[in-house]
Amino acid sequence: GDYNEILAWLEQGSLKPEKVYVTHGEMVASDVMRKRIRDKFGWDVEVPELFEEVEV
């Protein structure tokens, strides 16, 4: 989906996640998505580096 569709989908949830990882798309687009989620919801959002492992 596009940015607005993803933001609308996230808005439907009732829980606030501790952290959100944006792992799909080109680095520039992922960073834009990270900023939009952070600005809209105030959530902690990260874009992991290529091949970076994150424990969830």
Question: Which pTM was predicted?
Answer: 0.85
3-state secondary structure at position 46: strand
Residue 31 has a pLDDT of 95
Q: Is the pLDDT of residue 1 over 80?
A: no
- The residues spanned by each domain of the chain are 3-46
Q: What is the mean pLDDT of residues 3-11?
A: 91
Task: Convert the pLDDT of each residue in 10-55 to its tens digit.
Answer: 999 888 899 999 998 899 999 999 999 999 999 999 999 989 998 8
- CA dist 52 and 41 (Å) reads 25
- CA dist 53 and 56 (Å) reads 10
Ramachandran bin of 51, using left for φ above 0, alpha for ψ from -120 to 50, beta for the remaining angles = left
Give which of 3, 9, 12, 16 is closest to 43, Cα–Cα.
16
